[in-house]
Amino acid sequence: MLQSEVGSIYVDDKPLAETKNHFAYMPQEDLLFEHMTLLDNITLFGKLHHIDQSVDAMTLLKQFKLESKANAYPHELSGGMRQRGAFLRTMLADAEILLLDEPFGALDVLTRNEIQDFLLELKQSWNKTALMVTHDLDEALYLSDSFIAKLESITHQTISIDTLEDIALVLECDIRDFFDRDVMEDSKK
């Protein structure tokens, strides 16, 4: 991580420099090791730290519909399968904070929706925090408690997600430009 030039960042009342083990990072690309099976790729953290992750890994592989591909190599997997594998590897890194750089952008819509639902469950059951970069406003709204929007390349605003109308006020636009009426009506219920 880069050193900040101004200000300080703390995690659990400790300066960021002292909290390296709190973070797991997932870049946009899956970066799976081609010479390793999917199971070996997702349990790499455990192997490096002498932790047996096989039970957790198989449970997650099943949940992500990848159980039959556990012994497949990355070149035998579709792009969506590879991306799900990369997400599982990040999950198994045993970090409290997940740093996700457009983790679902390469996935088809159905798979993306399933993983987004899983991420919401994860927030509650695994007590993990995720900091995610996305260009998908729908995804940000669905997954976030709050988000930061970069507007017109220089303006940064923190937006509290209470209602879709709040977002429209901050973005100074008609929220119907982003969503169809059914979504808006559902949000009012």
pLDDT at 142: 85
pLDDT of residue 132: 87
What is the pLDDT at residue 159? 52
The token pair that represents 82 in the structure block: 């590879």
More confident residue, 51 or 105: 51
Cβ partners under 8 Å of residue 38, min gap 6: 32, 61, 66, 69, 70, 71, 72, 73, 74, 77, 81, 85
How does the average pLDDT of the chain come out, rounded?
78
With cut-offs at 50, 70 and 90, classify the pLDDT of residue 86: very high
C-alpha triplet 83, 121, 40: angle, nearest 5°: 35
Mean of the pLDDT values across residues 161-188?
51
pLDDT number for residue 163: 57
> Could you tell me the pLDDT band of residue 123, with boundaries at 50, 70 and 90?
confident
Q: Is the pLDDT of residue 91 over 80?
A: yes
Q: Is a pLDDT exceeding 90 seen at residue 58?
A: yes
* Token pair recorded at residue 45: 């953290």
Which of 79, 78, 122 has the alpha carbon at shortest distance from 100? 122
Q: What is the pTM of this model?
A: 0.73
Give the residue from 145, 172, 179 showing the smallest Cα distance to 159: 145
Average of pLDDT values for 2-21?
71
Backbone angles phi and psi of 186, in degrees to 5? -65, -35
Tokens of 53: 């992750």
Please tell me the predicted confidence (pLDDT) of residue 130. 83
Place of tokens 């509650």: 124
Distance, in Å, from the CA atom of 101 to the CA atom of 27, rounded to the nearest integer, reads 5
